[in-house]
Amino acid sequence: MTAGLLDRATAELRDPDRRRVIVGEVVRFAVVGASGFVLDFAVFNLLIHEHVETIAAKALSTTLAAVLTYILNRRWSFAHRETRGHGRDLAVFLVLSAIGLAIATACLAISHYGLGYDSRLADNISGVGIGTVLGTLWRFYSFKRWVFTKPGTRSDEVLAAAVL
């Protein structure tokens, strides 16, 4: 199964038109992600400066960043991709973002509470740095697969068609 996925990915990258589309998506996703990162970082640090509990601060900052990045990804990064309804896409986006939030907060909780690294610098490295990188990898994969899909490839519709 892994070999098939790798074969498909490399085949798409060999095609110059597909490569251009993928590189464009990655670059736009990175710009949107950077704007979300700035918002996440600023709000997180503002909240912990105001003595909001560390995990709550991270949850709020990441949620605000997720809403911003949904709007920007829908309107710019993946505007050329299919949508069936913004309500459905937003709901799936938020569920997948919640998993990304769980990844980031797990990194923060392990460092802050499990290992005792509770300085502001350590919280930023584990929660904003490491957590954001791992969460972003998850989000890029999952958003392309289940939210911003290629026309005619929506996972739920393909599954429904296969069952019928």
Question: What DSSP line would sit under 87-151, residue for residue?
Answer: HHHHHHHHHHHHHHHHHHHHHHHIIIIIS---SHHHHIIIIIIIHHHHHHHHHHHHHHHHTSBPT
Instruction: Tally the domains of the chain.
Output: 1
Q: What are phi and psi of 74, to 5 degrees?
A: -65, -45
Q: How confident is the model at residue 132 (pLDDT cuts 50, 70, 90)?
A: confident
Host domain of residue 82? 2-163
Residue 61 makes CB contacts below 8 A (sequence gap 6+) with 39, 40, 41, 42, 43, 44, 47
Using the predicted structure, report yes or no on whether residue 164 has a pLDDT greater than 50. Answer: no
pTM for the model: 0.68
Q: For the chain, what is the radius of gyration of the CA atoms? A: 18
- Of 16-25, 58-67, 91-100, the one with minimum mean pLDDT is 16-25
Q: How confident is the model at residue 139 (pLDDT cuts 50, 70, 90)?
A: confident
- Of 13-22, 79-88, 101-110, the one with minimum mean pLDDT is 79-88
Q: How far is CA 117 from CA 27, 56, 92, 98, in A?
A: 34, 17, 34, 24
Over residues 127-151, mean pLDDT: 84
Encode pLDDT of 26-75 as tens digits: 899 889 989 998 999 999 999 999 999 999 998 899 889 888 988 898 88
- Residues paired with 149 in a beta bridge: 82
Q: How confident is the model at residue 3 (pLDDT cuts 50, 70, 90)?
A: low
pLDDT at 85: 67
- Cα 123 from Cα 44, distance rounded (Å): 10
